[in-house]
């Protein structure tokens, strides 16, 4: 614990919506403190929700930045990029970086988000698939996909479907291999599912029922003169495309918190004030499961509005507040009047 007269060191792990909002709020509420953000990203905070726009002509990362680089200096926020946290010692209040640097903190906010989940049966083929979680990955897809080319999306969560609607709208062909994750993180009933799939078809997405095909047997490089990739199903059928992209939802990035002393289930378990079982450690965003009194369980909350609200609330509670989290996001999938699917998770400010 810092002496009363010594400025506190607030450390934030993750520079996404939750982490960046938390840093901004921390600066507002604790003007004399030190604030450090650690992130794996090479870039300052940019809007990942905008990434599909690489297909609409935006290909300079600077166009995606939420704050200009000068923001960090002006707000005295130290942004440390390309930094992987190796572990956290909650008792000593020390965080260790992979390059063997120890950083002491007074309060820690874990906002490390989630990484794309890849089913184990596909992990052998990961080098043949393109991810779409960062600017550089988005640009990689943009480079590999020829104009009017064919993208094969596996699974199809809300991140994937957001990309799918942009690709269709910009003249690409999209095939979606559907499965249990197609509408993740929305919970969809058996009755709703065909209606929603039909909406996707109306949007121009070609649907391939992966379950009916027995699942994916292999992903291969395309033969010379053929599209670059081939997805082979267990029933012997195949699907060729220029890129294959997995979208199976997110898994929380919590590995570095193992051994920190806080409770972890799938994500970091936090109370309604977003505090973990260590009073100096908080969590916000896709990495945490929040206790819901109403549902009597820990649950994830997704979407830009929820995540930003969590970042702000965590910062408030790290600086003396004690307020509960109140979801700020509508979570219902809907069919719009034009027949297209719309997810509130695609909305951001």
List interacting residues with other proteins (CB under 8 A): 42-44, 61-62, 69-73, 78-83, 97-104, 136, 139-140
Cα separation, 335 vs 332, in Å, equals 10
CB 318 within 8 A of CB 106: no
CB 11 within 8 A of CB 105: yes
**Based on CB atoms, which residue is closest to other proteins, 62 or 126?**
62
Half-sphere exposure of 19 (CA within 13 A, CB side): 30
In this structure, the dihedral spanned by the alpha carbons of residues 28, 321, 115 and 87, taken in order and rounded to 10 degrees, is: 100
Cα separation, 283 vs 19, in Å, equals 9
Min dist CB 157 to other proteins, Å, is 24
CB 28 within 8 A of CB 311: no
**Based on CB atoms, which residue is closest to other proteins, 96 or 217?**
96
**Based on CB atoms, which residue is closest to other proteins, 81 or 202?**
81
Structure token digits, residue 158: 């809300």
Min dist CB 13 to other proteins, Å, is 14
Min dist CB 82 to other proteins, Å, is 4
Bond preceding residue 205 cis, omega within 30 of 0: no
**Based on CB atoms, which residue is closest to other proteins, 60 or 187?**
60
Residue identified by tokens 């990739």 is 229
CB 310 within 8 A of CB 19: no
Min dist CB 43 to other proteins, Å, is 7
**Based on CB atoms, which residue is closest to other proteins, 74 or 265?**
74
**Based on CB atoms, which residue is closest to other proteins, 70 or 332?**
70
**Based on CB atoms, which residue is closest to other proteins, 45 or 302?**
45
**Pick from 270, 122, 245: which is nearest to 177 by CA?**
245
**Pick from 132, 195, 129: which is nearest to 166 by CA?**
132
Min dist CB 192 to other proteins, Å, is 39
Min dist CB 103 to other proteins, Å, is 5
Partner residues linked to 10 by β-bridges: 35, 107
The 3-state DSSP class for residue 36 equals strand
Min dist CB 183 to other proteins, Å, is 31
């Amino acid at each position: 614990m810092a002496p009363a007269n010594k400025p506190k060191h607030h450390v934030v792990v993750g520079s996404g919506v939750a982490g960046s909002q938390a840093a901004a709020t921390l600066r507002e509420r604790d003007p004399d403190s030190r604030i450090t953000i650690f992130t794996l990203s090479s870039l300052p905070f940019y809007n990942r929700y905008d990434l599909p726009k690489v297909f609409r002509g935006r290909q300079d990362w600077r166009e995606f930045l939420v704050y200009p680089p000068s923001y960090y200096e002006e707000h005295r926020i130290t942004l440390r990029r390309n930094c992987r946290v190796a572990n956290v010692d909650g008792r000593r209040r020390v965080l260790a970086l992979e390059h063997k640097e120890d950083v002491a903190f007074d309060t820690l906010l874990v906002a490390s988000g989630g990484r794309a989940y890849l089913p184990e049966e596909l992990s052998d083929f990961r080098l043949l698939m393109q991810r779409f979680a960062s600017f550089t990955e988005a640009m990689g897809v943009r480079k590999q996909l020829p104009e009017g080319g064919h993208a094969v999306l596996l699974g199809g969560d809300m991140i994937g479907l957001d990309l799918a609607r942009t690709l269709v709208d910009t003249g690409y062909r999209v095939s979606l291999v559907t499965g249990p994750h197609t509408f993740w993180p929305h919970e969809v009933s058996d009755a709703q599912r065909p209606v929603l799939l039909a909406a996707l078809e109306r949007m121009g997405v070609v649907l391939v029922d992966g379950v009916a095909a027995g699942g994916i047997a292999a992903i291969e490089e395309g033969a010379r003169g053929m599209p670059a990739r081939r997805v082979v199903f267990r029933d012997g059928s195949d699907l060729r495309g220029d890129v294959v992209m997995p979208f199976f939802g997110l898994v929380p990035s919590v590995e570095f918190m193992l051994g920190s002393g806080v409770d972890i289930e799938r994500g970091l378990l936090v109370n309604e004030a977003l505090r973990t079982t260590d009073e100096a450690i908080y969590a916000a965003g896709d990495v945490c499961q929040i206790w819901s009194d109403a549902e009597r369980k820990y649950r994830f909350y997704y979407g830009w509005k929820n995540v930003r609200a969590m970042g702000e609330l965590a910062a408030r509670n790290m600086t003396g507040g004690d307020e509960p989290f109140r979801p700020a996001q509508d979570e219902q999938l809907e069919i719009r009047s034009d027949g297209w699917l719309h997810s509130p998770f695609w909305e951001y400010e």
